[in-house]
Amino acid sequence: MASAREHVWVSIRVRPLLEAETARQEEECWEASGSGLLRCTQHGAANTALSFDQVFPTDISPDELYAACRERVQSSLQGINSTLFCYGQTGSGKTYTMRQLISLATADIFDTISNLPHREFTLRASALEIYNERVRDLLKNHSENQDLEVQDTRGKVKDLTLQPISSAAGLEQLVNISCARRTTRDTRINVTSSRSHQVIQVHIESRDAHATSPTPIVESPTRNGATEEAEDGLASSERGLEDPRPVTSAVLTFVDLAGSERVSSAALEDSNQRTRLLEGSTINKSLLTLGSVFRALGDASSSASKGATVYVAYRDSKLTRVLKPSLEGKGRLAVVCCISPAAGALDNTRSTLHFAEQARRVAVVPTVNVTVTQAAELRRLRAANAALQKQLDCKQFGREVVELRKSVAQLRKEVTSLGAERDAAKEKVRELEEELALSDASSQYTDQDPPDASSSIPTRPPSKAREVLCARRSGEVALVWSEGGMSARRRAG
Ligand SMILES: Nc1ncnc2c1ncn2[C@@H]1O[C@H](COP(=O)(O)OP(=O)(O)OP(=O)(O)O)[C@@H](O)[C@H]1O
Ligand SMILES: [Mg+2]
């Protein structure tokens, strides 16, 4: 069930100057100038404004920020995969923004669910980080798993914990735990710099709350556009082997990217320098891959109408492999690009804005994922079968009626022609009878009382003439007589 094509929703959030930046007397050089416009106010910069779906000024409230993204979160409750990204240079406010969004989305999700008593929801959540190209489960201790396998086809992470969630508090707790376990470090630019990409996913499944009588059929899901994660989100034991209700499923993904920075400018000259250089270079490499994936998706979107296929390098980083289902085009995507207003961050900010422009070219066709159990599918097929049979019967009956009408018309024709034949035969019989009567009458007439040859044929027969009843037709009686070798006839009353 696909809805209309849309482009990736891209917004810019300008954070306020931080204390350190103010202390350095950094100049503010970006401002939101209304209705999605971002203007560079730096002296000498061209006075042009860049256009995005939304530009949040430094004093935006968390509620206003969430209100702009809410539609995507709500889509996930309706079965559409939705992803919220925070992108930007280190220290630009990605983690700060993502925490606000997750917190408000959590409250909103459970609020909405409580207002939908006719739907039965099942939620599970996972949290992972990709650190130095290694996938780690943030719901387990690091020692337990060093690098989880990413299954290529659907970006599924093998053995990742999928924790059942029954309340907003439960989801908040999970997010807090995963944030606490995430790899962060004090860098020259940000004292709490995230050194890994964090991916938190909420698997949301729902079905009609009104139970229908179970069908004695062993369940084996038939899929309709559902991602494997969504399908796995509900174990078959919980789904109920015989439950025929279709399940709507979606994954809501929150991606807080690690900070991109120039490796040399962030590397500290201490014993951990090599570790930090490695972190920085793997982060930048994976962000470059993300950028090229978005660029390819943008190219694919613009060339889709021309039927061209574009190669998308999902496999080049763990991040894009994990996010493949979110990026492939069947889910909704919202990107919040965070920027610092400081003039000193201008170069990094420009590269963030370049990414934002690339992301905006990407088109998606959001699709509702509905998983249908075999029992439900069998019911649907049976109903469809019965309807088709009915249609077929009607058609056959219709054909029979047409044939019968043809036969009736043919019989009518035959009856009409037989009627005409019968009338002709009757007429013939009448004429023959008349002739017979005349010949009988002339043979019985005598010359004893010959009629006056000069008189006209009398209206009444002469006394000696013999009346002969010779024919009956339509209730009339014809009297025929013969006198002196002459015959005459008149109608009797
Ligand atoms: N909108 C904001 N308002 C006030 N303070 C903010 C805002 N955004 C970020 N900050 C502050 O800026 C600092 C850096 O923010 P944050 O850690 O979120 O950046 P980041 O982009 O995640 O960086 P990194 O990539 O290094 O992880 C934090 O101290 C945070 O509190
Ligand atoms: Mg961060």
**CATH number of the CATH domain containing 171:** 3.40.850.10
184 Cα nearest atom in ligand 1: 27
Same domain, 312 and 167: yes
In this structure, the answer to whether residues 267 and 405 fall within a common structural domain is no
Q: Indicate whether this model's pTM tops 0.85.
A: no
Closest ligand to the CA of 198: 2
Binding residue positions? 88-95
Ligand closest in space to the Cα of 89: 1
- Span from the CA of 490 to the centroid of ligand 2 (angstroms): 130
Neighbours of ion ligand 2 (CB under 5 A): 94-95, 194
Taking the centre of ligand 2 as the mean of its atom positions, its distance from the CA of residue 190, in whole angstroms, is 9
Distance 95 CA to ligand 1 centre (A): 6
Distance 43 CA to ligand 1 centre (A): 26
Q: Are residues 293 and 420 in the same domain?
A: no
pLDDT of residue 186: 87
Is 212 inside a domain boundary? yes
Task: Answer with the one of 343, 372, 401 that is the final residue of a domain.
Answer: 372
Residue finishing a domain among 342, 372, 402:
372
The answer to whether residue 1 sits within a structural domain is: no
In a domain, 206, yes or no: yes
Residues 200, 136 within the same domain: yes
Atom of ligand 1 nearest to the CA of 13: 1
Last residue of a domain, one of 372, 391, 415: 372
Statement to judge: residues 239 and 189 lie in one domain: yes
The answer to whether residue 317 sits within a structural domain is yes
Residue whose CA is at the smallest distance from ligand 1 atom 31: 96
Is there a single domain that holds both residue 64 and residue 161? yes
Answer yes or no: do 39 and 161 share one domain: yes
Instruction: Looking at the structure, tell me whether residues 366 and 385 fall in a common domain.
Output: no
99 Cβ inside 6 Å of ligand 1: no
- Residue 158 CA to ligand 2 centre (angstroms): 26
Q: What SS3 string covers the chain?
A: CECCCEECEEEEEECCCCHHHHHCCCCECEEECCCCEEEECCCCCCCCEEECCEEECCCCCHHHHHHHHHHHHHHHHCCECEEEEEEEECCCCHHHHHHHHHHHHHHHHHHHHHCCCCEEEEEEEEEEEEECCEEEECCCCHHHCCCCCEECCCCEECCCCCEEECCHHHHHHHHHHHHHHCCEECCCCCCCEECCEEEEEEEEEEEECCCCCCCCCCCCCEEECCCHHHHHCCCHHHHCCCCCCCEEEEEEEEEECCCECCHHHHCCCCCCHHHHHHHHHHHHHHHHHHHHHHHHHHHHHHHHHHCCCCCCCHHHCHHHHHCHHHHCCCCEEEEEEEECCEHHHHHHHHHHHHHHHHHHCCEECCEECEEECHHHHHHHHHHHHHHHHHHHHHHHHHHHHHHHHHHHHHHHHHHHHHHHHHHHHHHHHHHHHHHHHHHHHHHHCCCCCCCCCCCCCCCCCCCCCCCEEEEEECCEEEEEEEECCEEEEEEEC
Same domain, 334 and 422: no
Please work out whether the CB of residue 188 comes within 6 Å of at least one atom of ligand 1: no
Question: Does 391 lie in the same domain as 348?
Answer: no
Q: Per-block average pLDDT, block size 10, for the chain (493 residues)?
A: 85 95 91 88 77 95 96 96 96 97 98 95 96 94 77 84 96 97 89 95 92 44 38 45 78 94 58 80 94 93 71 93 92 96 92 95 92 71 86 84 90 91 91 88 57 49 47 47 50 47
Please check whether residues 364 and 397 belong to one and the same domain.
no
Would strands 37-40 and 30-32 be described as parallel, antiparallel, or unpaired? antiparallel
Question: Do 73 and 174 have their domain in common?
Answer: yes
Task: State the total domains in the chain.
Answer: 2
How long, in residues, is the chain?
Answer: 493
Does ligand 1 lie within 6 Å of residue 91's CB atom?
A: yes
What domain range is 409 assigned to?
Answer: 380-492
Which residue ranges are tagged as binding site for ATP? 88-95
